[in-house]
Amino acid sequence: GQQVMQIPQYQHVQEGEDFTTYCNSSTTLSNIQWYKQRPGGHPVFLIQLVKSGEVKKQKRLTFQFGEAKKNSSLHITATQTTDVGTYFCWNRDDKIIFGKGTRLHILP
Amino acid sequence: KAGVTQTPRYLIKTRGQQVTLSCSPISGHRSVSWYQQTPGQGLQFLFEYFSETQRNKGNFPGRFSGRQFSNSRSEMNVSTLELGDSALYLCASSLADRVYGYTFGSGTRLTVV
């Protein structure tokens, strides 16, 4: 079956720097959902992308879905300490595959 | 509006015992999924229910089972507990299958000793 891989697994950035995590699929995806899990918390739904080339923004967060619908990215501009956590990408149709996510650490 | 409620929050069990975890989805949500989260394996899908029917099942042994009731509340059961079953068990609900994002509960932290 299709598999969604996420990179990097860990990222340390200085507060104020930008951060990007990528999800890559071996096959075309009908959709991508992004979630954030704070340390000790549970995943929280951020956004869903369904259209080729789609770009959505939430304040400092920019989500993109590739033209071929095989990859997606989440970019955070000027990170803050509140951005700490693990960011997951997930293909809604294939719940069996749920990437390990990218753990973001912010250095003060 | 109340979120997804999972009970109990914490549980300590002995190897060989069985355990039942409960999940009450957001009112009106008919889709409920269960996940196991461990530091080493990340989030792993257990099963998904929609309108009392199991729609999908992950790659877990038969000791893991679940069900959904007519009011959309769901339970999962693990029999003959093993040390490796220690994990955070998360339940997630959605308004409709395969359309919306999922809302996760706070989880049940199960420790098997």
Give buried/exposed letters for B3-28 (b at 16+ CB in 10 A, else e): ebbbeeeeeebeeeeebebebbbbee
| Contact predicate B77/B94, CB 8 Å | no
pLDDT higher than 60, residue A96: no
Q: What are the backbone angles phi and psi of residue B84, rounded to the nearest 5°?
A: -70, -5
B65 CB neighbour count, 10 Å cutoff: 16
Q: From A36, A77, A81, A32, select the one nearest A59 (Cα to Cα).
A: A77
User: Is there a cis peptide before residue B8, judged by omega within 30 degrees of 0?
Assistant: yes
The shortest CB-CB distance from B98 to any of A42, A43, A92 is to A92
Chain A interface residues (partner B, CB cutoff 8 A)? 33, 35, 41-48, 88, 92-93, 95-101
At residue B100, the pLDDT reads: 79
B66 CB neighbour count, 10 Å cutoff: 22
d(CA B25, CA B32): 7
A22 or A100, which is more confident: A22
Mean per-residue pLDDT of chain A:
91
Average pLDDT over residues B88-107: 87
A39 CB neighbour count, 10 Å cutoff: 9
Mean per-residue pLDDT of chain B:
93
Q: What are the backbone angles phi and psi of residue A83, rounded to the nearest 5°?
A: -85, -5
B5-56 per-position pLDDT tens digit: 999 999 999 999 999 999 999 999 999 999 999 987 888 989 999 999 998 8
* Mutation for A interface: B104, B106, B108, most A CBs within 10 A: B104
pLDDT higher than 90, residue A90: no
At residue B1, the pLDDT reads: 62
B56-76 per-position pLDDT tens digit: 898 899 999 999 999 999 999
User: Is there a cis peptide before residue A8, judged by omega within 30 degrees of 0?
Assistant: yes
